[in-house]
Each structure stands twice: as C-alpha cells, then as structure tokens.
Amino acid sequence: MIKKIFVLFSAVILAGCATMAPKYSRPASPVPGSWPGGPAYKKAAGKPAGALADIPWRKFFLDRNLRKIISLALENNRDFRIAALNIERSRAQYQIQRSNLFPKVDAFTDADLQGVPRGLSATGYNETVQEYDVGLGLSSYELDLFGRIRSLKKQALNQYLATEQARRSVQISLVAQAASDYLDLAADYELYRLAEETFTNQQAYYRLVKSRFDDGIASALDVQQARTSVEAARFDIAHYMTVAAQDENALNLVAGAPVPEKLLPEELSDRLTSLKDITPGLPSEALLNRPDILQAEDLLKAANANIGAARAAFFPRITLVSSIGLGSDDLIGLFKPGSFAWKFAPQITVPIFDAGSNRANLKVSEIDKKIAVADYEKAIQTAFREVADALAERGTIDEQVAAQQALTDADAESYRLAKARYEQGVDSYLNVLDSQRSLYAARQNLIIAHLARLKNLVTLYKVLGGGAI
C-alpha cells in the first residue's frame, strides 16, 4: 500500500512540471539600432565593447598603485560587502522556496497517557489509557498540480540572479569610482604644485618690481598689482591643499580603509590603461554587457513567474499528510509484531468565495510585470544615453587637449614677451599681470583637460559593462 502511495506521489509530481506563467519574451529594445552620429563622434579602430567586457580590470588599468587600491576597495568597501551578503541571502531564500517542491519527512516519537474517570470509562472503573507511537511522517506536502510552487521557485531564482547582477554592477561602479577618485587626487596634487610654483615665481617678481620701485623706475601701482598675484597664488595653495585632503578622504572611503601613503598618486599618468580608442559596436552588443540591464531583465522574469503563481491560486490545492510507524498501548509491546501503523490523509482545498482576493492578487502581479517592463526599458534607455555621452566626449577630448596645449604654449610666449617689454620700460606692468593670469589659467585648464581625457576612459569602462574579475 505504501509503495503504491509513493508511486502516486511521483506521477503527480511529474505531471505538475508545467506552470501557468505566461511565456516569457524579451521586450523590444526602445533605443535606436546604432549610436548617434555627427561631428562630436568619431570612428575609432579600438577594442569592441564585447572584448572590453571580457578584459579583467587588472589588465584594463595598468597603474600598479591604482590596482592595489582597487583590490583594497573590493576587499573592504562596505557597499560591495552588502551586495555580496544580499546574494547569500537571496540564494538562501531560493533554496527555501525550492525545498517546497519536495516532501518533508520527519521522525517522531509520541507518548500519550490519560486518566479516564469511571463516569467516562467504558468499563465503569477508573483507568489509565496509554498510547505510544514512533515512526516517520510526511507533513503538509502540497502537490504542485498547477505549478504554483514551481512559479514561486522560478520567481525566487530570478530574484537571486538579479542580486548577482546587482553585485556585479556595484563592483564595476566601485572599480570606476576608485579610479576616478585616484585621478581627481592626482590632478589636484598637480594643481597644488602649480599654485606653489606660481607663488614662488610671483614672489620673486614682486621683489623685482619693488626693487624697481625703490629705484624710482616702477610705480606704486605696479607694486600693488604684483602683490595681488602673490596673494592670489597663496589663496590657491590653501584651496588645493584642502581639495587634495578631501580627495584623499574620498579615496579612503571607497577603499574601505586608509590608503597607504606610498600608493597615493603624484601626478596624472597616461599609463592609466593601454586602450586609447574603444569601438562600442552595436547598441545591442554593448548594452547586453551591462549588469544593471541584466538585473532589470531578471526582475522582469521574476514578475512574469509570479503571474503563474497568482493564476494557480484559482485552482484546487491538494495537500498530503501521511505517516508510517509503530504503535501500542504498552511501551514494551511497541516493537512486537502487529504494532505497524500507517496514516494517509489527503486534503483538497477548492477556492469558492474569497471576496475577490485571488483576482486582485492576479491583477497586482500583472501590473508588477508592466512596471518591470518599464524599468527594463528605462535601464536600456539610460545605458544608451550614458554610452552616447561618453562617446561624444571621447570623440572631441583629444582635440580639446591639443587646443588647450597650444593655448598654453601661446600664453607662455605672451608672458615671456610681456615681461621682457616691461623690464625694458616699453609696456606697463598691467600687460605682464594679464599675461601671467592667462598663462596660469591655461596651465590649470590643461591639467583639467588631461584629467577629463583619463576619466573618460574610466567612464567608458563603466558604461560598457566593465571587465571580468
């Protein structure tokens, strides 16, 4: 009899493999099939996006100190640690949901002793009734005839996969943030040293102007104008000292621990990465590597599976309770022949009236899927815009740097000529002051342009899906 029961269980389980969830199909991409074109974009013959996503970040970023800082961040950053713990939590939830597909068998032992008064006793005397049981029991196992449990299992699986993509997204953002903060600190160190250099030069020139004033060659206005340059440079030294300290604090936060001083950058380096030009390929290729889009699709699949569970709630639910074991009214006789006992108690629950609860739950699940579709499409549109923006900057950044370099060279020559003409008494000190300010601003902007070019490579690493570990 028991054998027949378990054969019946197996047949029913196999029959319930299907679910009532709608057949999933990926929504059409809501973005164009090609990247924007125009004068801001250029066709580069570099690594395609698919190849970039397969390059480990250790090979993408070549700076040794930066790689050590990124490793420190991946080990200690709290956001990344939370993302990893969320994966473990989601995996456990999936295992819990998956376990509902299988019967839960428990061992039990039971002793029941009861005193029966003679008024209730069949014999007319006071008596003690004893019952002892030991065995195995199957408790509240639901036969998944309409795929309710399997739909919930699939929902939990896709939610687990979404947390894995969320962890990958956090990882890529963390790597990019560490690189960006590292470059910011390097640039501000350069701006600080430029301010110090300018301060030293302006002090020397201030002394020269004052000496000329003492000799009756320069005016008091020249002295005061020279002094304004000295004080402006002194202000910039204090400003960039503050900014560099704040950059270092930001880098420590990303790393999750104090970054050793020997790993801090001294200047911007062109050896950030070996990739100078990156070809994104088609949007469908580039965007599929983005973990945030994969995460949105996993959540969409989870919402789709939840509709199957909501639909199954309209149909009967069969729950089985059974047990086999030994029973006796005497503890000594528990293991004697003839003490074998079994129980089989199936229960069928048919929804008849629920005040519209099941219909409302189905409506909620269908709306949740529509929301998930909108979130998925928005993730694609956002990714498309981010890549397009990065490509637009990539297409013009080299020209910006070259133009700024030419401007800096021109300002340097103008400053040299203005100083020479002033020292020869041809021009006033105002021309020297204007030339010096233009050169200082041009050198600052050249550092900023160099920073923008390097950070654009970091941005492309991030928006094109990052690299594998």
Residues of the chain with pLDDT under 70: 1-18, 43-52, 94, 100-102, 104-105, 108, 119, 129-130, 132-139, 275-277, 326-334, 468-469
pLDDT of residue 451: 95
pLDDT of residue 228: 84
pLDDT of residue 201: 85
pLDDT of residue 186: 94
Is residue 125 a part of any domain in this protein? no
Is residue 366 a part of any domain in this protein? yes
Is residue 412 a part of any domain in this protein? yes
Is residue 345 a part of any domain in this protein? no
Is residue 154 a part of any domain in this protein? yes
pLDDT of residue 277: 65
Summarised one tens digit per residue, pLDDT across range 248-301 is: 999 999 999 999 999 999 888 878 887 666 777 788 778 887 899 999 999 999
Is residue 449 a part of any domain in this protein? yes
Is residue 393 a part of any domain in this protein? yes
HEC-encoded secondary structure of the chain: CHHHHHHHHHHHHHHCCCCCCCCCCCCCCCCCCCCCCCCCCCCCCCEEHHHHHHCCHHHHCCCHHHHHHHHHHHHHCHHHHHHHHHHHHHHHHHHHHHHCCCCCEEEEEEEEEEEECCCCCCCCCCEEEEEEEEEEEEEEEEECCCCHHHHHHHHHHHHHHHHHHHHHHHHHHHHHHHHHHHHHHHHHHHHHHHHHHHHHHHHHHHHHHHHHHHCCCCCHHHHHHHHHHHHHHHHHHHHHHHHHHHHHHHHHHHHCCCCCHHHCCCCCCHHHCCCCCEECCCHHHHHCCCHHHHHHHHHHHHHHHHHHHHHHCCCCEEEEEEEEEEEECCCHHHHCCCCEEEEEEEEEECCCCCCCHHHHHHHHHHHHHHHHHHHHHHHHHHHHHHHHHHHHHHHHHHHHHHHHHHHHHHHHHHHHHHHHHHHCCCCCHHHHHHHHHHHHHHHHHHHHHHHHHHHHHHHHHHHCCCCCC
pLDDT of residue 7: 45
Domain count, the chain: 1
Residue 409 domain boundaries: 22-101+147-315+362-463
Task: Give the CATH number, domain containing residue 397.
Answer: 1.20.1600.10
Is residue 171 a part of any domain in this protein? yes
